[in-house]
Structure 1
Amino acid sequence: MVQAANTVTAVRTIGAVTVAIAAVATRDPVLAVAAYLVYWVGDMLDGWTARRMNQETRLGAVFDILADRLCCVLCIIPLLQVRPGMVAPVAVFLLQFVVVDLVLSLSFLRFGLLSPNYFFHVHHGVFRWNWSPAAKATNTSALVLLVLLVPSPWPPLALALAVVVIKVVSLVVVRRLVPVRRNGAES
């Protein structure tokens, strides 16, 4: 059975990628912003759909996390075309989001959780800084808005570096936590 939430994830990913590719091809900043909007709205909608329809699964959470990385990487390319002076903050952000945050986001699997949205059961601080509604709303959007609206690369670079620190500290905390054990093996 195809789950509605996973269908929303697939559709929002295809939509965001398509609009991002069109933005790259045309160098159109409006399409670049539209690509991010498709990604962000779709990302909120797939999570909402999963919870409303009681379709949350670990596989769906992993699919969503991986789709987020694909969308973000492709959506940021046209922003760099429009704002090439922002390559340093974007590079730091991408390294953080595609590598560090990916490992952190998938750490929910070690604790038998359904998704990172339930990490508050494991550690309140890590949840608050990474997956609370406020953290999720600002993790990507704040950097993208700074890249688009601020003339200097320094404020977005400072934000990107601060987020790296938060993510690395969160990873250290998570690594030190005792995972859930099933049949004598770490999950």
Structure 2
Amino acid sequence: MAGSPDRIYADPSVERLFTGATIITFVRTAITLAIAVWAAYDASLTWIVIGLVTYWVGDSIDGEWARWRDCETRMGAVVDMMCDRLSCGALYVGLIWLQPGGWISDEPMTWIGIPIGIYLFEFMVIDMYLSLAFLAWPIRSPNYFHVIDRRIYLWNWSRIGKAANSGAFAVILLVSGWVWLGTLIAVALLVLKCVSLRWLLQLGIPIPSRGSEGVPAA
């Protein structure tokens, strides 16, 4: 069961780098990067959008595969985070370079670098720190952070929290073509992550004792 202790808590005996889920992660990241490179070469917004869809769909598939095949690992969770940010960075930098227009306003978004820069800082720095914090507890991934702190989990790794922090920003920005709206959303996400970070620091991140397994005692 998805919420059973066996599913929530990490099992050192099953930890490994290569699982069906991580292979999907590596493949979808390679495809996304290839699309991002081609989009830059072709100066094509269409290919950027295809890359974003590939990234989002692939990110969903590897997670669902891990849960369906019961091969969730802490290694896999970290690999997924790193690959997400690599894919995201490549595609969003491409958007800055292209300065496309939106569907509502087709004027080139000359200052698109402002909202994207804020978003990338939020996602690649603060959110990365938040996401890696699960490693301080014996859970398999941030998807189970609700057993540590439900409030932080709901804001960041619930389905709504994930949607708000991934696809919503790009979709609204590209549909509207309004840099000011993208900036407001990016700032709102940054504030949300900063508040979550404050909650995490108040919660306190446990430090393993020197007598823990694998750590030599004094």
- Using structure 2 for the length normalisation, give the TM-score: 0.81
Which sits farther off after the overlay, 144-153 or 96-105? 144-153
Alignment partners' CA distance in 1, 2:125 and 2:209: 30
Aligned equivalent of 2:157: 131
Aligned equivalent of 2:80: 64
Q: 1:26 to 1:72 in 2, by over 3 A?
A: same
Aligned equivalent of 1:116: 142
Alignment of 1:1-187 (within 5 A): 2-80=18-96, 81=98, 82=100, 83-180=109-206, 182-183=208-209
Alignment partners' CA distance in 1, 2:117 and 2:206: 35
- The alignment-based identity, stated in percent, is 33
Alignment partners' CA distance in 2, 1:185 and 1:10: 35
The RMSD of aligned alpha carbons is 1.9
Residue 52 of structure 2 contacts residue 91 of structure 2 at CA under 8 Å; is this kept in 1? yes
Letter aligned with residue 142 of structure 1? A
Q: Which has the larger radius of gyration?
A: 2
Q: Secondary structure at the match of 1:159?
A: helix
Alignment partners' CA distance in 2, 1:109 and 1:185: 18
Letter aligned with residue 132 of structure 1? S
- Using structure 1 for the length normalisation, give the TM-score: 0.93
Alignment partners' CA distance in 2, 1:181 and 1:69: 26
Alignment partners' CA distance in 2, 1:98 and 1:151: 23
Task: Give unmatched runs, 5+ long, in structure 2.
Answer: 1-15, 101-108, 213-218
The Cα of 1:105 is off from its aligned counterpart by 0.6
The Cα of 1:65 is off from its aligned counterpart by 0.4
Alignment partners' CA distance in 2, 1:84 and 1:66: 29
The total of aligned residue pairs comes to 187
Structure having the larger proportion of residues in helix? 1
